[in-house]
Amino acid sequence: MKNLGHFCVALAALFAFMGFAFAPAHAFSVQPLLVELEPGRSASIRIENTRAEPLTIEVTISRRSVSEDGTQTRIPADDDFVVLPPQLVIPPGRVQVVRLQWVGEQAADQSLSYYANLREIPIALAPIEGAQVQVAFAFDIAVQVVPRATRPNLNLVSAELARNAAGAPVMRLTIENSGTRYAYLQHASYDLEVLNSAGAVITRPSFAQDQLTEALGVTLLEPGKRRIVELPLADAPAAASVRGRVRAGGS
């Protein structure tokens, strides 16, 4: 969500350049951006108002679901959490804490993925000459409800050589999380071998974490689900097949 803040500041600068008046705005600070909590326990989110005027924040919850092709959907899930307070006004330069506790009815035998969306509610602007543009900010906090003794278990179900929508060569992998805890695929270990038609290894591709993040898009893999992902393959004209394994980070 850091990029969202940069976009909003850039948008405000653009309107100023075009001759519009706008209310000064700077992104508020939020820590942490990933929250893990056990069922029955609470977690805290720290919000700092770095502005010279009061900041009004509203907190809403949505359940995350990621399909096999990486499409992410959100389902409103405010009833799954107690949020205290759900709306708050933070004085200039001050810090306030929001507490979350999961109270969902679903049996918590595996991790559940949510977003806590912290959205600024714009204040009314005093009348000024010219058009007015008000920039509001929002942060998505990844919230994982994680029962004890859960762990991810990643399996490489299938692997093939293919071409992506742009015609570039890729390794198309189907990865399954047969465990009970979520995994982020950019943190996984990819042990892959590209073979020629005789079955000899011609290359062992490796990827930095930022390369994986860019290639994979949404990287969350929930327990009991599969993802089909495409990883870039450097020029290997003799490539005929790919094999290997994928392991969860730390396993």
**Does the pLDDT of residue 5 top 90, yes or no?**
no
Confidence of residue 76 (pLDDT cuts 50, 70, 90): very high
**Which positions ≥6 away from 146 have C-beta within 8 Å?**
36, 37, 38, 111, 181, 182
Q: Which two tokens stand for residue 94?
A: 């001050």
Q: What does DSSP assign to residue 199? A: S
More confident residue, 11 or 62: 62
Same domain, 177 and 131: no
pLDDT at 16: 33
Total count of domains within the chain: 2
Distance separating alpha carbons of residues 222 and 177, to the nearest angstrom = 7
What is the pTM for the complete model shown? 0.82
Provide, rounded to the nearest whole percent, the portion of the chain with pLDDT above 90: 74
The C-alpha atoms of residue 186 and residue 208 are separated, in whole angstroms, by: 9
Compute the distance between CA of residue 211 and CA of residue 192 in angstroms, rounded to an integer.
15
Same domain, 46 and 133: yes
The angle subtended at Cα 103 by Cα 106 and Cα 218, nearest 5°, is: 70
124 and 165 belong to one structural domain = no
* Together in a domain, 128 and 184: no
CATH number where 106 lies: 2.60.40.10
Question: 162 and 129, same structural domain?
Answer: no
23 versus 105: which is more confidently predicted? 105
Same domain, 100 and 128: yes
Model confidence band, residue 151 (pLDDT cutoffs 50, 70, 90): very high
Range of the domain at 113: 2-145
107 and 221 in a single domain? The answer is no
Distance separating alpha carbons of residues 139 and 60, to the nearest angstrom: 11
Is-contact 174 156, C-beta < 8 A? yes
Residues 79 and 159 in one domain: no
Instruction: Tell me the pLDDT of the chain averaged across its residues.
Output: 86
Instruction: Decide: 195 and 146 in contact? Cβ < 8 Å.
Output: no
* Domain end position, chosen among 88, 110, 145: 145
Q: Are residues 123 and 30 in the same domain?
A: yes
Final residue before a domain boundary, out of 145, 165, 181? 145
Domain match, 55 and 174 both: no
Q: Which of 108, 126, 145 is the last residue of a domain?
A: 145
Q: Examine the domain organization and report whether 169 and 82 are in the same domain.
A: no
> What pLDDT sits at residue 130?
54
Alpha-carbon distance of 202 to 194, in angstroms, equals 6
Same domain? 182 vs 240: yes
Asked whether the predicted pLDDT for residue 20 surpasses 50, the reply is no
